[in-house]
Amino acid sequence: MGKTYMGLPRDKIPWFPAIDYEKCTGCLTCVETDKNAGHNVYEVEGNPPRPVVKNPYECVVGCETCAKLCPNNAISFPSRDELKQVLKQLRGTL
Ligand code: SF4
């Protein structure tokens, strides 16, 4: 069985960062934060280097730290309401 979040299959929960490459300057703060926290959501690719969301389901559900630290507001997540709706649907309580 894969990873779970509160008993629900993690790969059914669409919670992970999306990067707006129009805004991203490649500072890699998001990647460092991710690695320092022991996660493996991001990898660095390309030249010049830029962050890529390689392992979206390694992302901690509800965590938006990388988005908060991005100096260019280039990272977004679903809204809390969207997350709640998905969790309710998966639990069969909607
Ligand atoms: S923190 Fe923001 S600007 Fe810096 S690499 Fe990540 S997405 Fe790009």
- Measured in Å, residue 52 CA sits from the centre of ligand 1 at 10
Q: How many Å apart are CA 55 and CA 57, to the nearest integer?
A: 6
Q: How many Å apart are CA 57 and CA 9, to the nearest integer?
A: 10
Domain hosting 64: range is: 16-91
In sequence order, what DSSP letters do the residues of 67-92 get, joined into one string? HHH-TT--EE---HHHHHHHHHHHHT
21 occurs within a structural domain? yes
What is the CATH number for 38? 3.30.70.20
Contact (Cβ atoms closer than 8 angstroms) between residue 19 and residue 54? no
- Measured in Å, residue 19 CA sits from the centre of ligand 1 at 8
Q: Which residue has the tokens 């030249």?
A: 47
Predicted TM-score of the model (pTM): 0.93
pLDDT (tens place) for every residue of the chain, 94 residues total = 689 999 999 999 999 999 999 999 999 999 999 999 999 999 999 999 999 999 999 999 999 999 999 999 999 999 999 999 999 999 997 6
5 occurs within a structural domain? no
1 occurs within a structural domain? no
Q: Which of 19, 23, 24, 45 is the pocket-test mutation for ligand 1 (most atoms within 8 Å of CB)?
A: 24
Domains: count for the chain: 1
Q: How many CB atoms lie within 10 A of CB 89?
A: 12
Q: Is 28 in the pocket of ligand 1 (CB under 6 A)?
A: yes
